[in-house]
Structure 1
Amino acid sequence: MSKNLNNKLVAAAEIVLRVIWYLSIAGTIFFMGKMLLGPVLEITEYTSGLITPIEFSVNEQGTATFDSDQTVPVQINHAKGYFRIDRPIPTTLKVVFFLINLVVSGLILWVIYVLWKIVQSVKQKNPFIVLNGRRLRIIAFSMIGIELSQGLANLIKMLYLEPRLQFETIIIQSKIHVSFHVIVAGLVILVIAEAFRIGVEMKEEQELTV
């Protein structure tokens, strides 16, 4: 019963990944085509209005009241949010953002494809191969690359826009916004990939000695 259930789950995972793979290709072609040809064909205008994360502090000091007679000062530091500006950006930045998005999209497609191949090897009852260890390394490096690329894109936008932003009480801080959880997860997968490779090599050595 458990074996049949596992087989069904693997088959379902393969179908889902296959669908995601083709949908991702279609989505990437549409999105990149819109970025590249939208302004030319006057379908859309590629602006700096992309949602961009920011970190900021507030000069104004507030207060918080506890009970009826206890009031304490409150200050906002290292707050996080998003901003959007609907204005055309220079062609140079358009090219930079296009290339970064192209890299990110390619890495995402690569991860999906590699996962699909790993699931196929499981379906074929042959998951413990050196190639799957390499595939896990590809996933790990791709995850880290995606996160760093997105962080770089956000930093470039902030460096371009920060000198042009004016607020009376808000201080904008330019920082590279990356998810260290994703990077740590990528490093963990990298360690697992190395352990997987060593395990496969030991298995092959045992088979040769028998």
Structure 2
Amino acid sequence: MLGRSHEITVINERRLEAPGHVIIGAMPFASCFGPAYETAFVIDADLRKRKMRDKVPMTYVTSEPYIGHRGLGGVGDSKSVLESELRQHHINWICNAKVTKCEAGKMYIDEFQRNPKWQNIYSAGVCVAIPPIEVTPETRATWNALCLADMGDTGAAFVALPQMPPRNVAWIKKGKWVHLAKIACEKYILKLLGIGKLKE
């Protein structure tokens, strides 16, 4: 896992030598929109640290009907919070994006989650609908949503009880504490898996 992460880092370093427009988004029927937002904000933060952000226009493309919908009908004031964050970070957006062509209902990606034909186009994690490996029974679950969304140097916490509206609780809070909590969670999970080392 860490070997693959290193390979992706090397690819990213090469791309920084000749930066271009970064387009990030999620396809219709994505199982989760959060990682696409996180990817946009993390790339923005990385480019700012490198003093390169002014050379790289960014656009967030989504099938969501509005920014902050997140596939959940919005959570609290997620629409205005995420629109404000995108504006502050100079990330343009396009909503209601549609797919105009699809081959047999599939998007082909290689082991680096790149399109094999256009290797500057990447997919990211659960932003790609992954087919189930086995048939599961159809039951209606009532899920609750708790999400810590990293925004590069800040973050937003979302709570939706239940996940789909109407809800008993719809809460969103923004702050650096979410970014730090997300880092702590990731380090903890890597430590549990035995593949990461915590810096002392």
TM bracket (short chain): under 0.3
Normalising by structure 1, what TM-score? 0.23
Larger Rg: 1
Higher strand residue share = 2
Larger RCO (CA under 8 A, 6+ residues apart) = 1
The structure with more helix, counted as a fraction of residues: 1
TM-score by length of 2: 0.24
